[in-house]
A and B are shown apart, each in its own frame.
Chain A
Amino acid sequence: MIYDICIIGSGAGGSPVAYELANAGYKVVVLEKGNYYTEEDFSKDEVAVCRRELYTPPLHEQKHIINEYSASGKYTRYDGEESGWNFWNGSMVGGSSNLMSGYFHRMKPNDFELRSVYGEIKGANVVDWPISYEELEPYYEKVERIIGVSGKVKEHTYQEPRSTPDFPYPALKTSKVTKWFDAACEELDIEFFETPRAILSQNALNRDACYYSNFCGSYGCSSGAKGSARAALLQKCDAKIITDAFVYRLEAKEGRVTKAYYYTKNRIKHSINAKIFVLAAQAIETSRLLLNSSSKEFPHGLANSNKEVGKNLIFSAGGAGSGRFIFEKLTPEAQKELMEPGVFFNRSLQNEYDYDDGCRKYKGGTIDFLFEHQNVISRATQEIYNEEGNLIWGEELQKKIHKRLTSSRVLTFEIFNDWLPTDNCNVNVDANVKDIYGVPVGVINVNSHPHDLAVGEHLAQSAVEILEQMGAVEIEYSISSSPPPNLVAGGCRFGDDPRSSVLDKNCKAHELDNLYVTDASFMPTGGSVPYTWTIYANAFRVADVIKKEIESSFKDTN
């Protein structure tokens, strides 16, 4: 059988294409290496989900090699299995979008022209995108409707242009502590807004509303409210989904991909024939698969004659911080407000999406505020050291845990700024290190540009001021050059010049007629926001391109 479309990877990048093409009547198959979990299977089991990594492969079976570069250009090599450094996010139908928290921000118009607007930064491979915000805007809007985004638009300096006045779903319920936050921002004259979330605040789209389960990020959603690729798209179309299908090689002949080969867990080999192939295995694995698909015709791997595959890998730069609110400083009423479970915080800043240091304009970023994750084992375990850094146990530890968890609560913030693309941040494969299937593992070369840290540091100051104004104690933050494994993009840049990019502006490989890449690999720069809204929007855009392409080829053959 020959499918019209074969999609590799069932997450946020692959599923919009499956949804659009299957609903348009085409024969679509999705190859997914993980299992199929649905609403009925998910639970709030902290041990399984957060401490035993239920949704990701064991590192002794599948791992990465990580080379961490220092500023001097030297690197330290880490074996993922030995070091426990884990870059897997969610191997399951719907991918890591099942586990996301759904903090959703669009990129801004300037993000599409980073180089032109903010100029060159030495040591960084910054380029403009080959498409504009205006071209993507209709698809951002489509994501709001189809995935389901809740929120309330509030005008602020960096509010991006919108084709509709507001979100299709009203804002989610928030904690009363947001009143303290809003008052602090007003006092400090800092612009803020309610964080849009890819979560349904009411029953809609044949999915149930959020029931404020208190355990959102890292957990699957049992109501279907979270806008995962599975709940919002794959369960709403009849694309054929093959699970336990680890695609290890794409075969290409005469400029066209002809077959995807996959292994099951029992290492049985299978192959799928299709007219069009769409690769969306998440940024690192997408590059790895292309590099592992070399042949006589493509000796450096598929789509890689210019040796650009894997280059310019990016993550979300920034860091995180927190402040603690303690009962001693609060009225009984405020204490009650503080401890209310379930409801969200949902406050964000983009007041310095760009900023001027007196010499030039710099790109800034986004800060999301959220309560500390409610995982109780993890919160208790954090308390096993005293202020001097010594391990404690017995009565002292018991008292400390009880006091901290029952009479205080932590508000955290996460900073997102651009991770500048550099020469030493990329994906490769290691022919000598193989996974359980016998396939060369991905090598992740990690390097962060010093400018990223400076921006993060600059942004953190507003968050600290707000927490101080709110009366928090133990305020701290850390700006880090460590890559967040769940916020990854790049490796197969799109661009107009086939010499310096892997994909054309429609995310089709320059050197293959029928291979598209629709996860975040296409992004030359990532904006100063988490990526998923943009991944979804772009994948819907490419789905339209593929639909047109396939319609015209059908017309030609009929």
Chain B
Amino acid sequence: MNTLHRRKFLQLGLLSSAIFVMQGCELKGITTMRSTIELLQRDLFEKSHTLNIKTTHYFYNSVLGHSRISQEEKKFLKNGVSWLNEAAQEQYKLLYVKLPRHHREHVLQTISQSQWGEEWLSKMLGYILEATLSDPIYLGNTNENGWKWLEFQGGVPHPKEPYL
């Protein structure tokens, strides 16, 4: 979205934070990062949800909590959630989680045309696929359902502990 500006937003805490979506000095809405991510992940890749893959847990635990993912990347991932909500506000005057499916899809289409949006969505997709197809030790790929879906035999030996 060309007209979308990265507006100032306030963010409290880190992980289960509330997101205050601002336009100028006006508070336009409050949501939690987790609820936005949960819904976004379903919109991007519903299959994981139907396979009972814990993509949001994975995102918090094995992405935002990972020692080898840079602070810069984590900040970008989190900022993206706010920008997504700002884009939803700008287009439909509502937070992303409050929009009907077809409007959410439209917001995603719009942000995917911007540089940050494309980069952010591709990263979010990458982490959903990681959750779905990583070793179950990371607690995403429940019961190897992701692997079964793709008729994939995981590698042996499996890790004894997750690398975080």
**Residues of chain A at the chain B interface (Cβ within 8 Å):** 42-48, 51-54, 58, 60, 213-215, 219, 222, 341, 374, 376-377, 380-381, 384, 390-391, 393-395, 397-398, 401-402, 405-406
User: Do the beta carbons of B66 and A52 come within 8 Å of each other?
Assistant: yes
In the bound complex, residues from chain B placing their C-beta under 8 Å from that of A391 are: 112, 118, 121-122, 125
Cβ 8 A contact of A394, one of B45, B66, B69: B45
In the bound complex, residues from chain A placing their C-beta under 8 Å from that of B2 are: none
- Closest CB-CB distance, B6 to chain A, in whole Å? 20
User: Do the beta carbons of A47 and B45 come within 8 Å of each other?
Assistant: no
User: Do the beta carbons of B44 and A393 come within 8 Å of each other?
Assistant: yes
In the bound complex, residues from chain B placing their C-beta under 8 Å from that of A51 are: 130
Q: Which residue on chain B has the smallest CB distance to residue A45?
A: B159
B20 contacts A by Cβ under 8 Å: no
B138 contacts A by Cβ under 8 Å: yes
User: Do the beta carbons of A52 and B129 come within 8 Å of each other?
Assistant: no
User: Do the beta carbons of B68 and A394 come within 8 Å of each other?
Assistant: no
Give Cα distance in the complex from A51 to B43, angstroms.
Answer: 24
User: Do the beta carbons of B121 and A393 come within 8 Å of each other?
Assistant: yes
Give Cα distance in the complex from A443 to B157, angstroms.
Answer: 38
A47-B135, A393-B44, A393-B45 known; A406+B126 contact, CB < 8 A: no
User: Do the beta carbons of A47 and B134 come within 8 Å of each other?
Assistant: yes
User: Do the beta carbons of B157 and A54 come within 8 Å of each other?
Assistant: no
Q: Which of B30-44 contact A (CB under 8 A)?
A: 43-44
In the bound complex, residues from chain A placing their C-beta under 8 Å from that of B125 are: 381, 384, 391, 393, 397
In the bound complex, residues from chain A placing their C-beta under 8 Å from that of B158 are: 43-45
User: Do the beta carbons of A60 and B70 come within 8 Å of each other?
Assistant: yes
Q: How many residues of B contact A (CB 8 A)?
A: 41
The stretch that binds A, out of B7-15, B21-29, B82-90, B143-151, is B143-151
19 contacts between A and B (CB under 8 A): A43-B159, A45-B135, A45-B163, A46-B135, A47-B135, A47-B162, A52-B66, A52-B163, A213-B155, A213-B156, A219-B155, A376-B147, A376-B150, A380-B132, A384-B122, A393-B44, A397-B44, A398-B45, A405-B150
User: Do the beta carbons of B163 and A381 come within 8 Å of each other?
Assistant: no
User: Do the beta carbons of B68 and A52 come within 8 Å of each other?
Assistant: yes
A394-B43, A405-B152 known; A380+B157 contact, CB < 8 A: no
Cβ 8 A contact of B45, one of A58, A215, A397: A397
In the bound complex, residues from chain B placing their C-beta under 8 Å from that of A401 are: 129, 150
Q: Could you mark each residue 109-129 of chain B with 1 if its beta carbon is under 8 Å from any beta carbon of chain A, else 0?
A: 000100000100110011001
User: Do the beta carbons of A44 and B155 come within 8 Å of each other?
Assistant: yes
Known: A47-B162, A393-B44. 18 other contacts (CB 8 A): A43-B160, A44-B158, A46-B135, A52-B69, A52-B163, A58-B68, A213-B156, A215-B155, A219-B155, A376-B147, A376-B152, A380-B133, A381-B129, A384-B126, A390-B112, A393-B108, A401-B129, A405-B150
Cβ 8 A contact of B129, one of A377, A390, A395: A377
User: Do the beta carbons of B155 and A46 come within 8 Å of each other?
Assistant: yes
User: Do the beta carbons of A377 and B45 come within 8 Å of each other?
Assistant: no
Q: Which residue on chain B has the smallest CB distance to residue A47?
A: B134
B137 contacts A by Cβ under 8 Å: yes
User: Do the beta carbons of A394 and B44 come within 8 Å of each other?
Assistant: yes
Give Cα distance in the complex from A219 to B135, angstroms.
Answer: 15
In the bound complex, residues from chain A placing their C-beta under 8 Å from that of B160 are: 43
Q: Which residue on chain A has the smallest CB distance to residue B40?
A: A393
Give Cα distance in the complex from A384 to B118, angstroms.
Answer: 11
